[in-house]
């Protein structure tokens, strides 16, 4: 049953989308209209409830005679001692222990529950409570060395108890007591993971708990068996190093592949880094069994969906096919084939993401030794291509055939060739006995049928030449279907297939005397009451969208983005001109950005195909297409799933706008003027001119006015954190200075919306006279950190729907991490970025932000965590780099508009100088410093980001100035080799070469950034976009580098490594308050009128 909040939101959204059909005939008619919508929704929900099995009322006196999981693990006597010790704690200690140890609450949640002012104070309270608990378990002294293991128990970090007991024999008894508490904590955490709701069980399929509830394999703890096949078993497991649930596949001994083979396959799979390919965490051989652990998916396989819900529509099957083609293209690009593409090997996650999985059977595109495809290793016979059934090895063409079979099954629930045995199947294929798709579904679009039939062609040469070609054909079929039919009203959209909704908080079952029916009625009455309150308090008028009521009060609601995603920039969300949907770019946990579409009459967002690594989206005037930037190009795509089209090159796009004349105005690069291009394609034409005499470098963030002739844009560089705002015209070179703002602007009806310091404001604007007509009025608060210079902070539709991002409040945790990733110690917390350890390791130079337009370099004492300001003044002082002897720090600052390099002495007398560097550029920052000079990154208008070296004598030389983007270079301690990051492969990777020149070789394979050398130059470190830290051995004699994964730590913005290579100082993004979300505001113009 829907909660009251869901019912009210659904009612309001449905009313908003049908407001144009509403006619006000008398006073109170709007309330009656809303009431009818609500009642209809309640009836629908009641009918659904009536079809459910009846709820069983359980008596609270009914006890389970079996021992609890905790009692099974630690024993009855130990459990009794633990519970007696709990009763001796004072109330706040007792609650803190229960919340942290047994419920796994965060310190922020504990602080909120116990009324503590901060998470740090809750952490301190909980630590003292745990030590007191151990003391009650006869720990002799809470100040003993057991305090460190106690903190690790609180943090949920795995402890080697045997090692602890060996190192501290004199503390044997206290440690044994603490070990008991650790067992309690881990059992509660894992038992919480083991407990699944009915929805989870349906998503995962049949489950069976192992006989040993907490069996382990290596460092993984197996929680639940979720699958079994000819090759082995699949478990839901917990990885204490990554601190996440994973899927563990253990191969049976009789089907055992070598550890080297599985590890090779794991590396290949991890190398793909694709949104629609299952993420692999690792592989190993333990206890005589080979295993691979991967991302754990929550959802249902396509086989479950087609079996439970029946055939799919052609459109939905096409969208799935597009995602799977993209995934197969990634698999094939590594030299591998999947070999077993079928509906049971594809998962649709909760939220809609399509994931190709079961990579324990990935095969390289080469025949077996005997040339015979046999056994399960070769795939599933009923989905195999005819040539594979004849004994040929798996191939890319075979994968595409299997994908055609998958699409056939999705729309028919049948297979094209069906048989009772393998021999019969081979015979039927030899007789071309495939049932035509049209015979089973004559209603399917002809283009879709042609694509599926081509994919399933008997001859491999008659199939699509590549997965990319098949993806293009599927996308074209959507476009042609859309062009061949009339637009469908939004309320007439086919209902999407049911999705499994994440379980909400459990509620107490009704007691023996309680009735279920009255509680249900009260829920409906509560919904009606809340709705009545909203209608009355808000003054909801019948002309809400068409003619805003001057007396209507503003109101807001929020939309959460998909779990695990986050915004990467303020200008990465845009509301459609018709106000019915919003598109936004969000990064997933692997660091890949993608566009998501959220309609306001739906409860979930869906990803847009073909928009990987997209950013800064903007809408077409008819709300049917979206323009965006990706991989150095300006592109457009239909929101209905049509083909993505490339319009022109845009090396580093900084905003676009689409006019009613079908012209797109955009900033293609970090520096330079604005250009325009027809939305149908053609030649990009320069629209504005840079005034170099006034010190201009760039024009950004254009926005068309309604007349399709005039537009507004920002001029860079900023001055004291503010940008000049200009109005221009496509028919004239003349421009009008509109003053200064703190961000780009959004055009609303008779107003401009922009950021003023850290406040979102709206200011009345006369578009015909190109001038402001009143003062700015505050309409919201907006945090300012990150993003590109001058990003707009809001988007508004033609009918006045205002959308802006509510970023998560983040306080970075400066944390020490060892090479295993298991020992983590927090040094400090705050708005910190880019830590750099001094040569002697006693101090850290770090950027600390102060507001949206100011940051300074600070120096922190490693031993105490105390801070001392190093720079001060206007602008951003960033990217500190120590001199080799630790007496000065070089940094970048934009205090003069452009970024320049400066050097400032650490000791008195303090001396600061500007370092002359070439070429001049808007963006420039140092990335490493050694006796051989300073390495720095420069953005050039022609070549993008380049790597340069400034020698101690002041000579500047370009080291990497090619057409790719090369950044963040670091020099080996001996000054002979330089490592850097480049996007030459299409993804950021780490490369290395001799400083004097020579062959450039690639070190990373799964994406890489932020390379760091060990002090002796024998080891190089980097991390992947997914947060995995790697080590690469770098033989001085020029031998082959060898890489290995160290640990995974998500949400690391920057890091440095100590001289020994044993410890990393990381800036870990600490999430506080609410998750990242979009804020939607209605009737915001009321604030503007009230402020006049």
How big is the chain by its Cα radius of gyration, in Å?
A: 31
How confident is the model at residue 158, as a pLDDT?
Answer: 57
How confident is the model at residue 490, as a pLDDT?
Answer: 25
3-state secondary structure of 111: helix
Look at residue 631 and tell me whether its pLDDT is greater than 80: yes
3-state secondary structure of 504: coil
Going by pLDDT thresholds of 50, 70 and 90, the confidence category of residue 53 is very low
The lowest-confidence range among 271-275, 771-775, 794-798 is 271-275
Say how far apart CA 558 and CA 807 lie, in whole Å. 12
Say how far apart CA 652 and CA 664 lie, in whole Å. 16
Look at residue 491 and tell me whether its pLDDT is greater than 90: no
Say how far apart CA 495 and CA 398 lie, in whole Å. 34
Query: What is the CA 758 to chain-centroid distance, rounded?
Result: 26
How confident is the model at residue 487, as a pLDDT?
Answer: 31
Look at residue 102 and tell me whether its pLDDT is greater than 70: no
Going by pLDDT thresholds of 50, 70 and 90, the confidence category of residue 101 is low
The lowest-confidence range among 386-395, 476-485, 959-968 is 476-485
Going by pLDDT thresholds of 50, 70 and 90, the confidence category of residue 667 is very high
Going by pLDDT thresholds of 50, 70 and 90, the confidence category of residue 132 is confident
DSSP secondary structure letter of residue 208: B
Which residues lie closer than 8 Å to 892 by C-beta, 6 or more apart?
Answer: 876, 877, 878, 879, 899, 900, 901, 902, 924, 925, 926, 936
How many DSSP H helices and E strands does the chain contain?
A: 22, 61
Average pLDDT estimate for 187-204: 37
Look at residue 368 and tell me whether its pLDDT is greater than 50: no
How confident is the model at residue 482, as a pLDDT?
Answer: 46
Look at residue 495 and tell me whether its pLDDT is greater than 70: no
How confident is the model at residue 955, as a pLDDT?
Answer: 94
Average pLDDT estimate for 484-512: 31
Average pLDDT estimate for 830-856: 88
Look at residue 934 and tell me whether its pLDDT is greater than 60: yes
Is pLDDT larger for residue 846 or for residue 60? 846
3-state secondary structure of 109: helix
Average pLDDT estimate for 927-946: 91
How confident is the model at residue 233, as a pLDDT?
Answer: 84
Q: What are phi and psi of 666, to 5 degrees?
A: -150, 160
Going by pLDDT thresholds of 50, 70 and 90, the confidence category of residue 156 is low
Positive or negative, the CA dihedral 400, 406, 408, 414 is: positive
Query: What Å distances lie between residue 1091 and 765, 779, 815, CA to CA?
Result: 14, 10, 46
Q: Pairing between strand 777-781 and 795-796?
A: unpaired
Q: Pairing between strand 956-960 and 944-950?
A: antiparallel
The string of DSSP letters for 112-151 reads HHHT-SSHHHHHHHHHHHHHHHHHHTT-S-TTSTTHHHHH
Say how far apart CA 767 and CA 751 lie, in whole Å. 9
Alpha helical stretches, state H, 22-171: 29-50, 69-74, 76-87, 91-97, 107-114, 119-136, 147-155, 161-167
How confident is the model at residue 348, as a pLDDT?
Answer: 86
Is the peptide bond between 102 and the residue preceding it cis, with omega within 30 degrees of 0?
no
| pTM attached to this predicted model | 0.52
Going by pLDDT thresholds of 50, 70 and 90, the confidence category of residue 1058 is very high
Look at residue 629 and tell me whether its pLDDT is greater than 50: yes
Please, what is the average pLDDT of the chain? 76
Say how far apart CA 215 and CA 224 lie, in whole Å. 10
The answer to whether the CB of 591 falls within 8 A of the CB of 1009 is no
How confident is the model at residue 690, as a pLDDT?
Answer: 92
Say how far apart CA 717 and CA 896 lie, in whole Å. 9
How confident is the model at residue 36, as a pLDDT?
Answer: 62
How confident is the model at residue 160, as a pLDDT?
Answer: 61
Is pLDDT larger for residue 287 or for residue 324? 324
Q: Which two tokens mark 868?
A: 């001392």
Find where tokens 């190009």 sit: 633
Among residues 271, 201, 239, 221, the alpha carbon closest in space to that of 69 is found at 221
- Using left for φ > 0, alpha for ψ between -120 and 50, and beta otherwise, residue 1027 falls in left
Look at residue 372 and tell me whether its pLDDT is greater than 60: no
Look at residue 931 and tell me whether its pLDDT is greater than 90: yes
Sheet holding 1063-1072, edge to edge: 824-830, 809-818, 1063-1072, 1052-1057
Calculate what percentage of the chain has a pLDDT beyond 70. Answer: 71
Q: Which residues on adjacent β-strands are paired with residue 559?
A: 1078
Domains of the chain: 1-49+515-547 (no CATH), 69-192 (no CATH), 198-295 (3.30.200.20), 299-476 (1.10.510.10), 555-806 (2.120.10.30), 809-1072 (2.120.10.30)
Look at residue 582 and tell me whether its pLDDT is greater than 50: yes
3-state secondary structure of 810: strand
Average pLDDT estimate for 856-879: 90
Say how far apart CA 643 and CA 322 lie, in whole Å. 10
Average pLDDT estimate for 856-884: 91
Say how far apart CA 858 and CA 872 lie, in whole Å. 9
Look at residue 1069 and tell me whether its pLDDT is greater than 50: yes
Query: What Å distances lie between residue 49 and 1, 57, 58, CA to CA?
Result: 7, 16, 19
Model confidence pLDDT, tens digit, residues 437-457? 988 888 889 999 999 999 999
Going by pLDDT thresholds of 50, 70 and 90, the confidence category of residue 1089 is low
How confident is the model at residue 462, as a pLDDT?
Answer: 92
The answer to whether the CB of 951 falls within 8 A of the CB of 932 is yes
- Using left for φ > 0, alpha for ψ between -120 and 50, and beta otherwise, residue 188 falls in alpha
Look at residue 902 and tell me whether its pLDDT is greater than 90: yes
The answer to whether the CB of 322 falls within 8 A of the CB of 471 is yes
Which residues lie closer than 8 Å to 218 by C-beta, 6 or more apart?
Answer: 284, 286, 287, 291
Going by pLDDT thresholds of 50, 70 and 90, the confidence category of residue 843 is very high
3-state helix, strand, coil in the chain (%, to 5): 25, 30, 40
Q: Which two tokens mark 282?
A: 């690792």
Average pLDDT estimate for 161-172: 64
Look at residue 778 and tell me whether its pLDDT is greater than 80: yes
Say how far apart CA 933 and CA 692 lie, in whole Å. 31
The lowest-confidence range among 159-163, 914-918, 951-955 is 159-163
How confident is the model at residue 167, as a pLDDT?
Answer: 65
Q: Which two tokens mark 670?
A: 């970090």
> What ranges make up the beta strands (E) of 202-243?
216-217, 220-228, 232-239
Is pLDDT larger for residue 540 or for residue 463? 463
Look at residue 540 and tell me whether its pLDDT is greater than 70: no
Find where tokens 């600061």 sit: 912
Most confidently predicted of 357-361, 507-511, 610-614: 610-614
Going by pLDDT thresholds of 50, 70 and 90, the confidence category of residue 1016 is very high
Say how far apart CA 756 and CA 762 lie, in whole Å. 10
């Amino acid at each position: 049953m829907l909660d009251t909040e869901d019912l009210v939101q659904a009612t309001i959204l449905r009313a908003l989308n049908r407001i144009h059909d509403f006619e006000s005939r008398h006073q109170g008619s709007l309330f009656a209209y809303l009431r009818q919508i609500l009642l209809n929704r309640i009836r629908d929900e009641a009918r659904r409830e009536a079809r459910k099995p009846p709820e069983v009322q359980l008596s609270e006196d009914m006890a389970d005679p079996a021992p609890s999981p905790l009692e099974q693990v630690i024993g009855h006597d130990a459990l009794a001692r633990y519970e007696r010790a709990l009763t001796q704690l004072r109330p706040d200690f007792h609650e803190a222990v229960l919340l942290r140890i047994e419920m796994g609450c965060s310190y922020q949640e504990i602080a909120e529950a116990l009324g503590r002012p901060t998470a740090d104070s809750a952490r301190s309270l909980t630590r003292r409570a745990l030590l007191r608990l151990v003391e009650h378990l006869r720990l002799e002294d809470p100040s003993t060395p057991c305090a460190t293991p106690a903190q690790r128990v609180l943090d949920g970090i795995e402890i080697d108890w045997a090692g602890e007991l060996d190192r501290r024999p004199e503390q044997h008894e206290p440690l044994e007591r603490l070990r008991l508490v650790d067992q309690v904590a881990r059992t509660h955490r894992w038992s919480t993971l083991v407990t699944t709701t009915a929805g989870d069980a349906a998503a995962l399929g049949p489950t069976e708990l192992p006989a040993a509830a907490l069996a382990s394999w290596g460092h993984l703890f197996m929680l639940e068996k979720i699958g079994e096949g000819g090759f082995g078993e699949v478990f839901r497991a917990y990885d204490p190093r990554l601190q996440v649930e994973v899927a563990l596949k253990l191969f049976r001994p009789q089907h055992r592949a070598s550890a080297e083979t599985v590890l090779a396959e794991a590396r290949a799979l991890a190398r793909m880094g694709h949104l629609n390919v299952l993420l692999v965490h690792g592989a190993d051989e333990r206890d005589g069994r080979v295993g691979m652990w991967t991302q754990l998916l929550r959802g249902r396989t396509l086989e479950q969906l087609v079996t439970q819900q029946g055939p799919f529509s052609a459109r939905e099957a096409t969208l799935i096919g597009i995602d799977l083609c993209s995934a197969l293209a990634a698999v094939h690009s590594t030299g591998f084939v999947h070999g077993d593409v079928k509906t049971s090997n594809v998962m649709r996650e909760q939220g809609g993401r399509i994931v190709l999985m079961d990579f324990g059977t990935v095969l390289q595109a080469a025949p077996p030794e005997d040339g015979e495809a046999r056994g399960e290793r070769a795939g599933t016979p009923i989905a195999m291509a005819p040539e594979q059934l004849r004994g040929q090895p798996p191939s890319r063409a075979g994968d595409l055939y299997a994908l055609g079979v998958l699409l056939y099954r999705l729309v028919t629930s049948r297979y094209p060739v069906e048989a009772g045995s393998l021999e019969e199947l081979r015979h039927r294929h030899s007789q071309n006995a495939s049932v035509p798709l049209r015979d089973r579904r004559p209603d399917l679009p002809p283009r879709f049928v042609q694509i599926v039939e081509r994919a399933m062609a008997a001859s491999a040469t008659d199939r699509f030449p590549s997965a990319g070609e098949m993806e293009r054909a599927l996308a074209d079929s959507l476009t042609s279907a859309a062009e061949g039919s009339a637009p469908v009203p939004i309320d007439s959209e086919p209902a999407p297939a049911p999705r499994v909704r994440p379980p909400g908080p459990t509620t107490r079952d009704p007691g023996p005397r309680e009735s279920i029916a009255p509680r249900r009625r009260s829920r409906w009455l509560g919904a009606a009451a809340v709705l009545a309150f909203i209608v009355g308090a808000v003054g909801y008028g019948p002309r809400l969208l068409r003619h805003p009521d001057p007396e209507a009060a503003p109101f807001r609601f929020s939309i959460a983005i998909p779990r695990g995603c986050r915004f990467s920039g303020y200008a990465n969300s845009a509301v459609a001109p018709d106000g019915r949907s919003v598109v936004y770019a969000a990064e997933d946990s692997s660091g890949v950005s993608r566009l998501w579409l959220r309609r306001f009459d739906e409860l979930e967002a869906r990803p847009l195909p073909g928009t990987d690594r997209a950013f800064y989206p903007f809408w077409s005037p008819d709300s049917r297409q979206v323009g965006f930037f990706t991989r150095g190009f300006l592109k457009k795509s239909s929101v209905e799933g049509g083909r993505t089209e490339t319009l022109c090159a845009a090396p580093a796009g900084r905003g676009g706008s689409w006019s009613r004349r079908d012209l797109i105005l955009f900033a293609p690069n970090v520096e330079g003027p604005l250009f325009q291009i027809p939305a149908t394609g053609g030649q990009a034409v320069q629209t504005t001119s840079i005034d170099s005499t006034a010190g201009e470098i760039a024009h950004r963030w254009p926005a068309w006015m309604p007349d399709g002739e005039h537009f507004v844009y920002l001029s860079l560089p900023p001055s004291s954190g503010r940008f000049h705002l200009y109005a221009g015209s496509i028919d004239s070179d003349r421009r009008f200075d509109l003053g200064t703002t703190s961000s780009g602007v959004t055009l609303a009806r008779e107003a401009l919306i922009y950021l003023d310091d850290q406040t979102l404001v709206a200011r009345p604007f006369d578009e015909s006279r190109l001038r402001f007509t009143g003062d700015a009025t505050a309409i919201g608060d907006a945090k300012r950190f990150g993003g590109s210079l001058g990003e707009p902070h809001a988007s508004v539709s033609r009918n006045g729907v205002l959308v802006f991002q509510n970023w998560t409040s983040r306080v970075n945790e400066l944390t020490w991490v060892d090479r295993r990733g298991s020992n983590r110690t927090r040094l400090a917390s705050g708005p910190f970025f880019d830590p750099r350890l001094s040569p002697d390791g006693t101090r850290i130079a770090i950027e600390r932000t102060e507001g949206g337009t100011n940051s300074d370099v600070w120096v922190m004492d490693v031993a105490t965590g105390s801070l001392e300001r190093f720079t001060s003044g206007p602008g951003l002082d960033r990217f500190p780099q120590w001199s080799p002897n630790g007496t000065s720090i070089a940094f970048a600052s934009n205090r003069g508009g452009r970024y320049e390099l400066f050097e400032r002495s650490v000791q008195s007398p303090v001396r600061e100088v500007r370092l002359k560097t070439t070429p001049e550029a808007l963006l420039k920052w140092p990335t490493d410093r050694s006796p051989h000079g300073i390495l720095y990154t420069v953005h050039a208008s022609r070549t993008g980001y380049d790597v340069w070296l400034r020698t101690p004598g002041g000579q500047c030389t370009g080291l990497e100035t090619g057409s790719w983007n090369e950044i963040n270079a670091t020099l080996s301690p001996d000054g002979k080799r330089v490592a850097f990051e480049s996007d030459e492969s299409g993804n950021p990777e780490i490369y290395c070469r001799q400083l004097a020149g020579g062959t450039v070789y690639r070190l990373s394979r799964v994406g890489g950034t932020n390379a760091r050398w060990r002090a002796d130059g024998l080891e190089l470190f980097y991390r992947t976009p997914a947060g995995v830290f790697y080590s690469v051995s770098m033989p001085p004699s020029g031998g082959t580098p060898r890489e290995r994964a160290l640990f995974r730590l998500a949400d690391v913005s920057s890091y440095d490594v100590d001289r020994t290579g044993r410890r990393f100082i990381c800036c870990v993004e600490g999430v506080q308050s609410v998750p990242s979300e979009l804020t939607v505001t209605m009737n915001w113009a009321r604030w503007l009128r009230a402020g006049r």
